[in-house]
Structure 1
Amino acid sequence: MDRTRRGGTDWAGWLRRWDAQQEGYVDRREARFSAMLDVAARLLPASFVALDLACGPGSMSQRLLARFPEARVLAVDIDPVMLEVGRGALGSGGGRLRWIEADLASSEWLSLLGGARVDAAFSSTALHWLEPAALTRLYRDLSRVLPPGGLFLNGDHLPFGPELPTFAGLSERALAEQWSDSEFAARGIETAEQWWEAFAADPAAAPLLAKRKARFAGKRRPETRLDLDAHVAALRDAGFREAGTIWQELSNRVLLAVR
């Protein structure tokens, strides 16, 4: 039986659909991934261990393993649905991929690494879900895990600060247009809400969605988001010696920090 269709569910198909709808929220998503991987290729050895933080169904992990055949990945997320899609679609990546269910809002995930060596950490369109206090704690945790010279690469919409109101307004208007339902429909892309509605109809969904509801009980979208300068300051306070933007299109950026 095809592993990616275990139990009659097309897990690889759900991952492809996830990637397709994410393209609607992140313009030039593959270019952003490529920028992150290019930095890793230049600064890391051929064999390295990477954390994929808030990994979702493994979009970043999949690209890391394909680009770096000697790399290993520890993929961490709180969401049981996303992890099950990733496990079903990607499996163990030939023994190079380990899935970890943990909440990055606390430090619990550190104990689940099993003492594994970690050389770099990656995240894509995810850490904005953490409250600022939890995010700064995560940066301190990363500083404990990564060795001197270790890398952290975060691809996300990192807002402009209050000293750049024109830049911030330009970026916000562009995102409002890009993320409108009418724009998704015009491009023939399903929204995140439509993806979740479709997944709910899959025979495998009910127990996973129930577990997800319990896992997310009490959690909410943060009311405030750190701007780029606040991210850089928090990373420096956590012990990273360098932090800055290495790729950008308005607020769509890749932030690199070096331990």
Structure 2
Amino acid sequence: MATQAQIQQYRLASQTLVTLGQSQIRDVLSAFGPSSNPVLVRDALIRYFPDFMTAFGDTAAVLGADFYDMVRNLPPSAGTVQTVFAQPAKVKQSEGVVRWAIGSLFAGEWDSFESALLGASQRLILQPQRETIDLMAQADARSGRVSAVAWSRQVHPERARTGKSCDFCIMLAGRGPVYRSQEAAGAVVGRGSDRTGFDADGNRLSGGIGGGITTRGLQERAASFHDECNCTTVPTFYEVQDRPGGRYPQVLVPIS
């Protein structure tokens, strides 16, 4: 189970990476201004923005793998699974973000355009990081080293304290490690349930296991974190323990 110090270290490294990526985007934008031709701004961004997302996304995937290894190596968890790195945002996805954000500039709203572009860049940079952690957790569970992996969502403590975290993120975080996938813990749209069927102590919950979440609209579930979302999804590892004489002879117990 991840400690708060580990989560904070991971969160700080992620934010530093995002800040560097957004700084490079601002360097490109510095050649333009509110009165610039939106077509020229769009063309410049389509040339550079996908490369930024690839470069910083690759680094983000490494950060995600390092975080997973750090959490997974907590005693008595011995050994790690083979590292699997998720791919950065595809070129078409990055170009789509540029074309979407530039709409505000065509309407003469430079600040809205810049805010939308930078916010989306944060999500795209961290996308492979979050997906890498999920891929490694899936491999870990398949390997038999753990009996199960559940996920919880944690909001940024300072943003929550100052009221900057959105209510939906806070609601998801309050559920604890009850999600069967990192993707479900990060979901911001959809109906249904991804309950594991166990509470934080490994006791079976009433209502059974959820059947999954069906998305609303056209948003992909892989893009489930909203722009400028500072939430972190944290894995909790479980092992099976026998409890003779109890209502349930076997329960899942968190590995601490």
TM-score by length of 1: 0.23
Which structure is richer in relative contact order (CA contacts within 8 A, separation 6 or more)? 1
Higher-Rg member (1/2): 2
More strand by share: 1
TM-score by length of 2: 0.24
